[in-house]
């Protein structure tokens, strides 16, 4: 029953976890719900005191609109999610129809998308039960699952206009 609910309403926010080896440059990759690890060593080198690590990007989801007053729609989805695929045509239609609205898409299957979703869930204190995709944040309102997004998003866009 739970599986059927997830397929109909949305997908659990899954992401590929990447762990950096603290001693050597290389990447250990673990996919959710598997025990298979893969390790790749490309250009391996020892980390020294002079090693500069890239700064982790953080996302702020408090902006409701752009500087020129256009509404921002934050859209979280996953390419591995059936509900996200089903919602894609509707999101494309809304994006085309509401040209003065900025649609920011975050694909959880990418490192930047998963980082953005992590920051979003922290900023809005989402519990694990609330971490589902597809999910939309618009004008301070969070809409979860494709049926609610189909039913409510356009009404919120019209109300903001």
Q: Could you tell me which residues come within 8 angstroms of residue 119 by beta carbon, excluding any fewer than 6 positions away?
A: 58, 59, 60, 61
Q: Is residue 57 domain-resident?
A: no
CATH of residue 115's domain is: 3.40.30.10
Angstrom CA distances, 114 to 16, 43, 105, 120, stand at: 8, 25, 11, 10
Please tell me whether residues 103 and 151 are part of one structural domain.
Answer: yes
- For 27-64, what is each residue's pLDDT tens digit? 444 444 444 444 455 555 666 767 666 666 778 888 88
Report the percent of the chain where pLDDT is more than 90. 56
Report the percent of the chain where pLDDT is more than 70. 66
Containing structural domain, residue 28: 14-45
Cα 58 from chain centroid (whole Å): 13
- 75 DSSP 8-state letter: E
- Which has the closest alpha carbon to 150: 71, 92, 102? 92
Please give the tally of structural domains in the chain: 2
Assess whether pLDDT exceeds 50 at residue 24. Answer: no
Of 17-21, 98-102, 122-126, where does mean pLDDT reach its minimum?
Answer: 17-21
**pTM for the predicted model, two decimal places:** 0.67
Q: Is residue 4 domain-resident?
A: no
């Amino acid at each position: 029953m739970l599986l059927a609910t997830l397929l109909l309403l949305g997908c659990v926010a899954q992401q590929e976890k990447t762990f950096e080896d603290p001693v050597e440059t290389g990447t250990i990759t673990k996919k959710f719900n598997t025990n298979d690890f893969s390790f790749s060593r490309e250009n391996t080198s020892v980390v020294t005191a002079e090693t500069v690590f890239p700064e982790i990007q953080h996302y702020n989801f408090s902006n409701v609109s752009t500087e020129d007053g256009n509404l921002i729609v934050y859209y979280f989805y996953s390419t591995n999610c059936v509900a996200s695929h089903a919602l894609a045509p509707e999101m494309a239609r809304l994006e085309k129809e509401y040209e003065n609205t900025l649609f920011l898409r975050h694909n959880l299957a990418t490192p930047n998308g998963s980082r953005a979703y992590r920051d979003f869930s922290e900023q809005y204190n989402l519990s694990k039960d609330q971490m589902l995709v597809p999910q939309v944040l618009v004008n301070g309102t969070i809409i979860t699952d494709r049926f609610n997004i189909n039913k409510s998003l356009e009404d919120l866009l019209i109300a903001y206009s």
